Amino acid sequence: MTDFATAGDAMPDIVMQTPDGGTVKPSDFAGRKLVVFFYPKDNTPGCTTEAKDFTALKSAFDAAGVELLGVSKDSPKKHQNFIAKHELTTPLATDEEEGGLSDALGIWTEKQMYGKTYMGMVRTTYLVDANGVIAQVWNKVKVKGHAQEVLAAAEAL
């Protein structure tokens, strides 16, 4: 199992797919602060709330010079539907590939529910400074109030 990435580590620069068929990677945001929030699955209650909360605060993140990127293992097509259904303005990316960014960060990991073991995403948010270094990590995120907490940390960076 990969160790979790922590503050002070460089953000791995791994390419992901965007819903429109393009690609995105952390170094695309060089020179700007970046918040990357990883969530388990599109259109589930907690993930929907989290994505909507970041969308609601997007103008405040923009004003603070902070880029946003939501990431899950869902396909680009599922992301398109998720964006349309909930009118999301926060960019999303797909990290489907084995050995992708969530694997490199150690947050695609074995989980258990009802006695069954499966691979799943640990809801985690990274605040990355303009030099591509992880400034702060929120592991096992509780959604309520999270986007506001991340905004405050990003503004202070």
DSSP string, 20-61: TS-EE-GGGGTTSEEEEEE-S-TTSHHHHHHHHHHHHTHHHH
pLDDT of residue 57: 98
Distance, CA of 67 to CA of 151 (rounded, Å): 11
**Distance between CA 28 and CA 47 in Å, rounded?**
25
Architecture in CATH for domain 16-147? 3-Layer(aba) Sandwich (3.40)
End-to-end CA distance of the chain: 31
Q: Which residues pair with 16 in a beta bridge?
A: 24
| Count of C-beta atoms within a 10 Å radius of residue 126 | 27
Check whether 2 has a pLDDT greater than 60: no
Q: What is the tens place of the pLDDT at every residue in 79-120? A: 999 999 999 999 999 999 889 999 999 999 888 889 999 898
Give CA angle at 2 (40, 32), nearest 5°.
Answer: 65
- Determine the pLDDT at residue 37: 98
Whole-number average pLDDT of the chain: 94
133 is catalytic: no
Kindly report, residue by residue over 137-148, the tens digit of the pLDDT: 999 899 999 999
pLDDT of 65 strictly over 80: yes
User: Distance of CA 91 to CAs 85, 115, 118, 142, Å?
Assistant: 14, 35, 27, 21
Which sign, positive or negative, has the C-alpha torsion 72, 76, 77, 81?
Answer: positive
Contact of 93 with 34, CB cutoff 8 Å: no
DSSP label of 73: S
Confidence band (pLDDT; 50, 70, 90) for 4? confident
With a cut of 50, say whether residue 1 has pLDDT above it: no
* pLDDT-above-90 percentage for the chain: 89
**Global pTM value:** 0.94
Catalytic residue among 11, 47, 51, 107: 47
What is the average per-residue pLDDT within 33-58?
96
3-class DSSP state of 89: coil
